[in-house]
Chains A and B, each alone.
Chain A
Amino acid sequence: GEDVEQSLFLSVREGDSSVINCTYTDSSSTYLYWYKQEPGAGLQLLTYIFSNMDMKQDQRLTVLLNKKDKHLSLRIADTQTGDSAIYFCAESTGGFKTIFGAGTRLFVKA
């Protein structure tokens, strides 16, 4: 069945780059996403990538997709304390359902 796995915690120093990794199982995944959840807030879509792309860059965010290995990563350049949050990897085949991972909690140390 469909599954998305990601590590639960990541700790970085302010100013460093953060890399959050994710693996998924559904080879028919068409869209892959990164969501951010700040304390007390909902899920905020950060960025998404189509499965026919290898990379997408959006300001400090870089998404890399290795479709062969079913591996997705999110790189945050110059990480700030305001980036501390839970980051969810998710995938869908374009239907009604989105499959989420358990989330990676990013801690940014000043």
Chain B
Amino acid sequence: EPEVTQTPSHQVTQMGQEVILRCVPISNHLYFYWYRQILGQKVEFLVSFYNNEISEKSEIFDDQFSVERPDGSNFTLKIRSTKLEDSAMYFCASSRDRGQGYSGNTIYFGEGSWLTVV
């Protein structure tokens, strides 16, 4: 079964450093997403990306964050100057069509990247 892959699985970084989390979405998918989950809290939507631009973003996704699809296969989340509160599990996801459940569309999630900011 096709899957979304994420690297690294775990990264420890110092506060103030830049971090890039990488994702390889499922190959024929057109919509891409980042979610995060702070330990013990809810999974939160960060951003969705379609046709090389952001289609929706949450309040969490401020100027510190950016997303990019640098080539035909990777989808990246960059955090420019990490803060302690950025420590979380970051999930990448992709879907063939827009949104979740729409016309039977399903969003597929990766296994997540654990980011620890010290």
Chain A residues within 8 Å of B, Cβ to Cβ: 4, 30-31, 33, 35, 40-45, 48, 50, 88, 90, 92, 94-103
CB-contact partner of B48 in A4, A40, A96, under 8 A: A96
Q: Decide if A42 touches B43 in the complex (CB within 8 Å).
A: no
**Further pairs besides A30-B101, A96-B98: 18, Cβ < 8 Å:** A33-B100, A35-B109, A41-B111, A42-B109, A43-B93, A92-B100, A94-B101, A94-B102, A96-B33, A96-B56, A96-B99, A98-B35, A98-B100, A100-B35, A100-B42, A100-B44, A102-B41, A103-B43
Residue among A42, A44, A50, A101 having the largest count of chain B Cβ atoms under 10 Å: A42
User: Shortest beta-carbon distance, A68 to chain B, in Å?
Assistant: 21
Q: List, in ascending order, chain B residues with CB within 8 A of A94's CB.
A: 99-102
State which residues 17-51 of B face A: CB under 8 Å: 31, 33, 35, 40-45, 48
Q: Does B58 sit at the interface, judged by CB under 8 A?
A: yes
Q: Does B4 sit at the interface, judged by CB under 8 A?
A: yes
State which residues 80-101 of B face A: CB under 8 Å: 91, 93, 98-101
Q: List, in ascending order, chain B residues with CB within 8 A of A88's CB.
A: 43
Q: Decide if B48 touches A97 in the complex (CB within 8 Å).
A: yes
Q: Decide if A99 touches B45 in the complex (CB within 8 Å).
A: yes
Q: Tell me the number of A-to-B contacts counted with CB atoms below 8 Å.
A: 69
A-B contacts, 10 listed (Cβ < 8 Å): A40-B111, A42-B91, A45-B107, A48-B101, A92-B99, A94-B99, A95-B98, A96-B48, A98-B107, A103-B42
User: Shortest beta-carbon distance, B94 to chain A, in Å?
Assistant: 12
CB-contact partner of A92 in B4, B40, B43, B101, under 8 A: B101
User: Shortest beta-carbon distance, A20 to chain B, in Å?
Assistant: 15
- Give the docked Cα–Cα distance between A1 and B116 (Å): 29
- Give the docked Cα–Cα distance between A79 and B112 (Å): 27
Q: Does B106 sit at the interface, judged by CB under 8 A?
A: yes
